[in-house]
Copies of this chain bind each other. A is one copy, B any other.
């Protein structure tokens, strides 16, 4: 339905879907070699002998007919395009390479190519309930993994030991693996917003920041928790933790249809700024999640997208003090009619692990 509307809006006859995540979303295909051609009414999926069986199982329920191709789909695609009388064809200009495009231009006769920009990605913004269920399950696994890793935080183990432990359990619990490179940043490294797990050993008296997620049936979760490891958190540790926590809760409780992304960002940012740490929150409040870890809408000061029912966004304010440490707290939140539904069950109160 959404593809049909896109075809009408762009005044084209068909769309060529070639990028990994758009293929996954529109056709259901999880293999590595395939391309789809969608008309307003008919839809075709081209793949080679290696993937024909898998493709039939995955794409036919989504209305695509599988076409088996020999060595490269372009010649077969060209026939279908010609026989269907296509004059204007939408392409994913943000994914198709110059070499592929040059191939299209030489093989597809008399075609006007229309750049679709982010249009296919934007269709994915509003999630169906079956998509939300998969994300819920991905969040559930992440919550469980966090519960398991907490007792493993000990002096002398490395951040990489912890991330490896977590990724093992993600898969043991039915996930397909991490949805992005697991971030574990301890003590001074917690001030790095994106400090992926390193060989640094865990030491007492400092924050340990975990930012991680899981793929479940093609959908991601994304969660951040920051704990304190040691006996004596300083006033400053407690202060910045509580500011981030309040800002995060405030933003979560402000989620509702009708608010813009920039307004939501401003709520958390203003709170942190009032408390004197605005300069130390150097990234946006959050982003959409779905088949990719970063999707539309982006929740930052510049995005005027209006939140709608069925969107799922992360809410993840932070404060990062170089040389000292940093805190980020992040939940995945579904936009519901009456407000935000927070999917994560892991407590956000500061854990002080002795």
Contact = CB atoms under 8 A, between A and B. Distances in A.
Interface string A96-115: 11110110000000000001
A164 B175 CA distance: 11
Interface of A: 50, 91, 93-99, 101-102, 115, 117, 160-161, 164, 167-168, 171-172, 193-194
Given A168-B168, A172-B164, A97 B95 contact: yes
Nearest to A170: B164
A275 to B, nearest CB: 24
Given A93-B97, A93-B98, A99-B93, A164 B171 contact: yes
A315 B99 CA distance: 30
A38 to B, nearest CB: 19
A50 B196 CA distance: 13
A298 B101 CA distance: 24
A44 B235 CA distance: 44
13 contacts: A50-B193, A93-B98, A94-B97, A96-B97, A97-B98, A98-B115, A99-B115, A99-B117, A160-B171, A164-B168, A164-B171, A167-B167, A167-B168
B97 A97 contact: yes
Contacts of A50: 193-194
Nearest to A194: B50
A309 to B, nearest CB: 31
A101 B97 CA distance: 9
Nearest to A192: B50
Contact of A98 (B96, B161, B172): B96
Given A168-B164, A168-B168, A172-B164, A94 B99 contact: yes
Nearest to A31: B194
A149 B233 CA distance: 43
A147 B135 CA distance: 37
A319 to B, nearest CB: 17
